[in-house]
Structure formats: structure tokens, C-alpha cells
Structure 1
Amino acid sequence: MRKLESRRPRVVIVDDSRTMQAVLEQLLTLRLRYEIVGIASDGRSAVAIIEQTRPDLVTIDLTLPYIDGRQLLEALHIFPEMKKVVVSAAACENLAVKASLEKLGADSCVSKSRMSQDPDGFCHLIGMIMRNSKKLQEKASLLGMPAPAPLRGSSGSGKRIAALPILSYPIPTDEVERRAALQGLGLANDNVDRRLDLLTEHLAKTTSYPACAMTFIDQHTQWIKSSVGVDRGFTPRSEAICNYTICGDDPFIVSDTHADIRFAKLEVVLSGPMIRSYVGLPIIGSSGVRLGALCLLDTKPRRVTVEELTNLRSIARIAAELVEARWEPIRYAA
């Protein structure tokens, strides 16, 4: 009979938030006594760490730079013994999203808010997942079947994660629904609408920011539909800081783009319009889909104030109602 090794489960944490990295590390090490063998802030780094360490458990955030968390999860299917737990935003509370992630190989999906509210429940869930994995190994051993070998070091199975498409921006969890809504509402263009211009003009004046823009992003393009202080038109999606804004419900703030590795080399930072500070809020439709972004821009580093955020929130809500009422959905033949 094969004797199983008694050792602490080894974990890699994949999340671009330092706060969440610290929270997960504390829960997994202090409460569960697991061993953290790697922490990655983006999907590309995660691939390298996972291939080198071959952990027993990987926690994955969905909105990551370079390689989207969903793509990373799908790529890890070649390691069936490795447990994968998605720890992300409110999208994990959506049953359809959870089902699609589990189909890609997630052993469980936990929203960050629920994890914060019930850390004991989160630890209990992780413990159950890892215990069930150990029981399967023990059962295989009792039946005389080859148990999955523990994933240890780079000399493990020798498998390598297939090359993934490298993205310079994260992909929202509601990407399919979001783009369908843009198409139906006719928003993916730079056609002039005076009522939207009135909103951006008002926001720029009441916040003293030199530039303000309302953007909508389709598969490859960011459409600047209304703007003050920057040109209306379009940019490649890879140049859009608003990619990060439409991935969450909260304000996305960059006080100094030169000090942020995600944006320091973007063309919109290094040359026109030379964005140095950015504050964005998603334009959220009545169905909960994040249709676009409303943002404030400056050519110098600055910190946003509470009053400026309040104005931004108010105008973003008005913009959401206006764009849904302004365009009648276009019906396409099946």
C-alpha cells in the first residue's frame, strides 16, 4: 500500500490587489496552516510561478492585467489535481457566471465581499476542498490505483501551460453581455449627442479637471463618445485605462500613471493627451451591465477629493439613464 506524504498544502495567490493578497495570505497561513509558495499580481507572472512551484491550490482573481483570470483558469485544466478557487468581486454571486467558471475547472467561486464578511466560512470551504482531494488520493491508494502525485517543484509532472494570448488589459466578467448591450443601444461609435456633451462639460466645470470623457469599449476599440479637453474619436482598446473601470462597480483611481506599471508605457500617457492622473466610474445600465465609463483626466498627478467623486457618481447615474432612454435597442435577425 502506498504511503501518502503528510505535508502542508502549498498555495499560489493570484490577485492584483496588495490588500487582498495580504488578507488571503493571513487566512491561509494563520488559520489553515497552509504554505504560500507564490504570489502573483498578474496572469503572466502567475503562469511562471505555477509552472515552477506546482502548488496544490491556486486562488484566482478574475480581473487581472496581461492574462485574464478566466483564461488562466482555463489554461490550468492540464493540472486536474491542482485545486482552483476563484476569489473575485460580486460576479461570483451570479449563478450563471459561477456555472461558467466551474465548467472551466473552478472547484469553487467566492466573492471577495462574502470572504470579508465570513472569513471562517471561507476557511471552512477551502479546508473541505483540500480534505476531499486528500480522500480521493487515499481511496485510490486503498484500491491499488495510482494516486495523483503531489505537485511539488518544477520536477513534477513536466507539463507546461500552453501559450496564452497576452492582453495588456483585463476583461470584464460580463464581457459578452456588455458588448451585446453596446451593439443593441448603438453606443460603439463616436456620433455626436449634445445631451452627453452637456454632462461632460458640467462635470469638468464642477470638478476643475481640465479633461473629462465618456467612453464605450467594444471588442477592439475604445470610443470616446463625448469629451472635454481631449479629442472625440477612438483609440485602440489596448490604450484604454477605462478597461479597468468597467471591470468593477467602484471608482478606479490612478493618482500618477508614471508610477503605475500598468499604464506608464501607454501612448496616451507618454504623448497626447499625456494622461498623468485618472479617475473613472462605470456607467451601469438598469440590468447591471457596465456599459461604459465616465472619467476625469489631468496632465499632472493629483488626488481626487470626496466632492469630486460625489459629482462623478451623480453624472454617471444620469448618463446611464440617458443612454438607455436615448437609443432604442436595434433588433437583429437571428
Structure 2
Amino acid sequence: MSRSRAWAELLRLPALFTVPGDALSGAVVAGARPTPRTLLAIGSSLCLYEAGMALNDWADRAEDAEERPHRPLPSGRVHPAAAFTAACALTGTGLALAARAGRPALTIAAPLAATVWAYDLALKHTPFGPAAMATARALDLLLGAAATTGHTRAALPSAALLGTHTLAVTVVSRQETKGGSPLAPLAALTTTALLSRVLAHRPTGSQTDRPSGTGPGGARPEAAAHRPPAPLTATAAVATGRHRRPSPGQAWPTTWAWPPAHALTTALAATYAATAARPYFHATLNPSPPLTQRAVGGGIRATIPLQAALCARSGAGPTALFIAALAPLGRRFGRRVSIT
């Protein structure tokens, strides 16, 4: 049990619940329903994420010996060589799973793995550290899009939102052991408010604005030149049978997406704001190490409702609810093992 707990602390297992939503939201915002290739992308993401966790503690073992001697490596509960070996094995497994999902997925997973290793070994303590971490999260979302649809362009805006959130959390985390200026949590608090506003705003010209079966421009190709698209009401959806679930790889129908998805998106955006804003606010008032660590933990946990809101905003209500359900599981495991 002691050995298992040491590895759970090393790999920060509660943080794993923030990972599946990357690939799932990437698939959804790219305009597709999750497929078996999405599952391979999730597996790849989990492996690469945990590789980064193990490599992080291996690279910081000397620093942790002074600032956090209770961590698995400085306390002697996990040997440094074992942590480094685990990082290498997990990286190889993650790349193999991405390759199994197809060449587009591997094209994203390879730079993702490179970014993880570059962050832990070289960039973490430089001004480029937060940007590298944000890039890794954004690439993780794009991995889901690439594995599911073979392209990533439609997922770029959502990847930017997720990357911006990660950037704010990482900036705060740089002072979690010693405390510091209130500017970092204040900037993160402002970023959270702006992202919440963006999430709650109805996307113009998106899937939620057009009836199912139409093309990206909102109308069927043969009718695009003759008449503008009209949103499909819930009553008309039932009458025409358009409320049926899509087959794998197809976009979610808009019969569910609007207006119910707007209510769900707003609720998830509010949950995202509430999860991150309160600890950020406390850290702004008192940027001590304990409150800063809580702010970092809140920012990490807020990733889940953010991912869910991105899915709901694209009309994939069931996927959004599934991702949101991971949050209480993460909190439950977080009571036993620290998420930071």
C-alpha cells in the first residue's frame, strides 16, 4: 500500500481525470462524434500526461529535497531511476497508441511528447515555461481532433481557449512553494472571467446555428444559393425525426444543441468560473504558499468543466455531461492524493 501510494503521489493520479476531456472535446469541436480512434487518443494523452508527471519529479528531485522533502523521490519511496524509466516507457506507449489512431494523430502526438520533455528538462524555470505547458494542453485537444477526423483546423479556437486557461494556471504554479506577488493569481482570475464570458457566448455561424444535415455554411450545398438556413425547432425536430443520435464520426444534430445546449453551456461556464475564481481570489488577497497551492489545484480541477463547456457549446450534450461527471471523481481521489 505504501509503495502504491508513493506512485500515486508521483503520478498525481487525481489530475488524470482532467485528461480524457481534452481528446473528447477535440473530437466534438472538430465536428464529429467520438469514435474508437478517439479512445486511442485518450489513451495516448493519459500516457503522455503521466510521463510528464514522472519526468517532472525526476528533473526536480534536488529542488524538492529542499522545498518538498515529503515527495516520493526525495523521501526515498520511489527511486529516481524508476521514475525516469516510467517516463520513457509511458512516452513510448503514448506514441504507439497515437500511431495506432492514424498518421494525423501521430503528427500531433510527436510534438506533444517533445513539448512535455522540453518543459520538464529545460523550459520549466524559464520565461517560456508557461507557454510550453499551454502548448502541450492545446496539442492534447488537437490530438483528439486529429485522431477522430484527420484534421485540426476546426478545433484550433477551442485549443486556444484551453491553452489560455493552462497558461494562467501555470503562471500561478511557479510560486506555489514560496508564495509571491498577487499579480499572478489576479491575472488568472481575470483570465477566468474572460474565458467564462467567451464560453457562455453563443458561437455565430457554428453548428448550433444551423439545422442538422447542413454544410459548414449553414445550408445544404444544393440549396445554399436559393434560401438562407432556418434553425430547427424542437417540435419540428421530433416531427421530422432529426433528433436521432448521429452515427460514429458524424456531427451532433442541432435539435439538442439549441436552445438546451445554451443552458448547459452557461451552467458549465459558471461551474468553471466558480471552481477557479474563488481560490484565485483568495490567493490574490494572500499569496502565501498554502493559498497559492489551493489556487493551482482549483485551476487544474476547473479544466474539466471548461472541457465540458466546449463540448456543450458545440452541441454535444451527452459528451459534455460525461466529461462533467469526471469532476466529482477527481475531487474524491484528490482528498487522498494531492493534485499538485
Report if TM-score (shorter chain) is over 0.5: no
The one of the two structures with greater contact order (alpha-carbon pairs below 8 A, sep at least 6) is 2
Answer 1 or 2: which has greater strand percent.
1
In terms of Rg, which structure is larger? 1
Answer 1 or 2: which has greater helix percent.
2
TM value normalised by structure 1: 0.27
